[in-house]
Amino acid sequence: MPDTATEPRRTRVVAVDPSRPDPAAIREAACCLARGGLVAFPTETVYGLGADATNGRAVAAVFEAKGRPQDNPLIVHVAAPGEVRRLVRDVPGKAAALMRAFWPGPLSLVLPRSSVVASEVSCGLDTVAVRMPNHPVALDLIRQAGVPVAAPSANASGRPSPTRAEDVVADLGGRIDYVLDAGPCPVGVESTVLDLSGPVPAVLRPGGVTVEELRGVIGEVLAPVPPAAPPQLPGGAATSGVEPGAPSQPVPVSGGACPPAATPARSPGLRHRHYAPRARLTVVLPGREGPGREPVARAVGDLARAELGCGRRVGLACTRETAAFLSRAGLLPGTQEKLRRKLRIIEWGSRDQAAQVAARLFSALRDLDRMGVEAIVAEGLAPGGLGLAVNDRLTRGAVAVVDLEQPGARGTAALEPETILVVCSGNTCRSPMGAAVLGDLLRRRGGRRREFRVESAGVRATDGLPASPEAIQVMAERGLDLKAHRSRQVTSEVLSGTRLILTMTQEQKEALLSLHPEVADRAHTFKGYAGTPDPEAGEDVADPIGLGVEAYRRAADEIERAAASAAERLLSAPDLAGLADHPGEEPEK
C-alpha cells in the first residue's frame, strides 16, 4: 500500500457473492483495511469507501481519494450495535430504540463522539455519525478488519453515489486498494442521517428509513430542510439554487429560450455540489398530491423538447407512467426519427413504487452520462416516504428544478415565442434578409401553435442604420418588407433569451463566440444548422455588399434554401400544445 494518499494505487476488484459471501475472498481486503488501506465495499444503500476510523492518516486518505471537502464528516460503520458504545460518549434511550428497530439498516445516528474515533472522521465536530449496514459483505468486512470503518459513499466528490462496483472503479480506480464487488445495492439511496445530539431528533439527510418510520418509533422528529427552494420564473419556469461553478440557468418549461450553458453562481450559500451527473440535470417535481399524470408528463416532455431544440443530446429519466402517457399521446420527442437519435429514455420504475425509483436513481444518471447525453430531464416523486430522499438527491444534483406545487408552475405548456437571432457583420444586408425569410417561413409553416420570433443583429454593427437599398429591393421582390429595419450590435442583452443563433459565416460565429462564449451551445452558422453547406463557399453566405443587386439576389437564394431546411429542423420538435389537439387521449389512471 502506498505511503501517501496521492501516490497511485493498484485497485483490485474482488467479486463476492452477496447471498453466500466467501470469508476468504474478503479476508485480504479486511487486512488491507486494518493496515490503513482504502477498501470500497457494498452496503444495502450505496457502495462505501472504507478506512479504519481510528487511524487519522487512513481517514485523511479517504478525503484525498474522493476529493472530498474537508468539512464534510464521515459515517462510521459497525458490525453490531454493541460496538457503538466505545465510539460515543453516550447512547441515549432513543438511539437504542432506533438501533433495535432499524439496525442493521439505512439509518445513521449522530451522537457525541468519543476519543476512539479519529478527529479527521468528524472534521473537528464533537459528534460522530454511526451506522450498522444491512449487507452481509459489509458486515463480514468490518468483522474481519476488527476496526470501526469510516466510509463515505465511494464516488468522486460531487458525482452520483455508486450503486455498482463499476461506478466505483470509474470514479476511484487507481486511487484505492480494493473494491469488493457484490453487484448492485438494493436500496440505492444513502442512509437517513438523524441527529440525536440536540434536544429534538432532527433528520439531516432523508434516506432509506423514512421520517414517518422514525416518528413511529421515537415520536417527535424534525423533518429535513429541503434543498434551496426553486424560485419561479415568469411563464411557469423555475430554477433551484445553484452552487458555485454549476452550469446553471433558468430553464423555460415552455419551450422558450435556450438554457445557456454557463452563468455565475446564484446561490453561493450552498457549499457543496452533490450527486451531479456530467450532463446538465433538470428535475420536475410533481408536488405533494401529485398533480396528476398529465401535467408532470407535459412538463417532462416540454423540458426534453426544449433541450433537444437547443441541439443537445437528451436523456429522459422518468416513471413508467409518464413514459407511457407521453408515448400514447404522441408527445415523446423520440417519435420523430431525427430526434429519436438524440434522445435516450430510462424508465426508472412506477411512480407509486418509490423503492424501485430509488434503487435505479443513481445508476440511471450514470448510465445516461455514459450514453453521452448532454442534458438530463428527470422526474421526481411525491415527497412522502422514500420519495423525499429521491427528490433530495435529484434536486441537489440539478441545475434547474420545476416544482409543479409552486404557484405559477402549472400551465407549463403555454408556449412563449421562441427567439432566433440571425447574425452577420453590419446587420444591414444578410442578417436582416435571413431574419425576414426565416421568420416568414416559420410563420407560414408553423401555424398558430408554434410561435417564433426571428430577429437580427451584427457582430460589428453600428446601431440604427437602415437595411441597404439592395437588400430592401430584393426582399420586396419576395413580398417581404425591410424598410423598418434598423441595425444593432450583438450584446449580452440581445443574446439573452435567444434559443438559437445563426451566423452568416464561420468567421462571424467565431467573432461572436470570442465575445460571448456563453452562447456556444446555441450558435451555428445558418447553412451549418440547415445542413446546406456547398462545396465552394462551405458554410458561408458570401457578402454581397458593393457587388450590385444580382449578388444580393444570389445571397437571398442561398438564404432561402438554408431557411427552408432550418425551418423544417425547428418545426420537427413537436410542441406540447399538440396535447390540446388530442382531447380523446386521457392520461392513464
Contacting positions for ligand TXA (CB under 6 A): 43, 45-46, 48, 72-75, 106, 108, 110, 122, 125, 127-129, 133, 151-153, 190-191, 193, 204-205
By CB under 5 A, what part of segment 139-178 binds Mg ion?
153
User: What binding mask, one character per residue, do residues 507-546 give for Mg ion by CB under 5 A, x or -?
Assistant: ----------------------------------------
Which entry of ligand TXA, Mg ion, none binds 204, CB below 5 to 8 A by partner kind?
Answer: ligand TXA
Binding at 43: pick from ligand TXA, Mg ion, none (beta carbon under 5-8 Å per type): ligand TXA
Give 13's strand partners. Answer: 179
Query: Least distance (Å) from ligand TXA to the CB of residue 205?
Result: 5
Residue (318 or 394) nearer to Mg ion, CB: 394
Q: How far is the CB of 275 from ligand TXA (least distance, A)?
A: 10
Give least dist CB 490 to ligand TXA, A: 45
- Residue 163 contact partner, candidates Mg ion, ligand TXA, none, CB within 5 to 8 A by sort of partner: none
Percent of residues in the chain assigned helix, strand, coil, to nearest 5: 35, 15, 45
d(CA 572, CA 575): 9
Give least dist CB 427 to ligand TXA, A.
Answer: 52
CA 290 to chain centre: 21
The dihedral of CA 66, 68, 70, 74: what is its sign?
Answer: negative
CA distances from 584 to 21, 427, 451, 579, 587 (A): 55, 48, 25, 10, 10
Backbone angles phi, psi at 60, to 5 degrees: -60, -35
Q: Which does 122 bind (CB under 5 to 8 A by kind): ligand TXA, Mg ion, none?
A: ligand TXA
The cell numbers describing 345, all together, are 429514455
Question: Contact, 497 vs 519, CB < 8 A?
Answer: no
Contact partner, 108, from ligand TXA, Mg ion, none, Cβ < 5-8 Å per class = ligand TXA
Number of residues that bind Mg ion (CB under 5 A): 1
- Between 276 and 424, whose beta carbon lies closer to ligand TXA? 276
Exposure b/e, 321-357, CB count within 10 A at least 16 = b: bbbbbbeebebbbbeeeebeebbbbbbbbebeebbbb
Contacts of 159 (CB under 8 A, 6+ apart): 171, 275, 276, 277
> Does the CA dihedral 537-540-546-552 come out positive or negative?
positive
Nearer to Mg ion, 158 or 255 (CB): 158
User: What is the chain's alpha carbon radius of gyration, rounded to the nearest angstrom?
Assistant: 28
Q: How far is the CB of 568 from ligand TXA (least distance, A)?
A: 48
- Residue number with CB closer to ligand TXA (152 or 587): 152
Least Å distance, CB 48 to Mg ion, is 9
Please list every residue from 91 through 130 that binds Mg ion, using CB under 5 A: none
| 406's grid cell | 409552486
State in angstroms the smallest separation of the CB of 65 from ligand TXA.
Answer: 13
Residues that bind Mg ion (CB under 5 A): 153
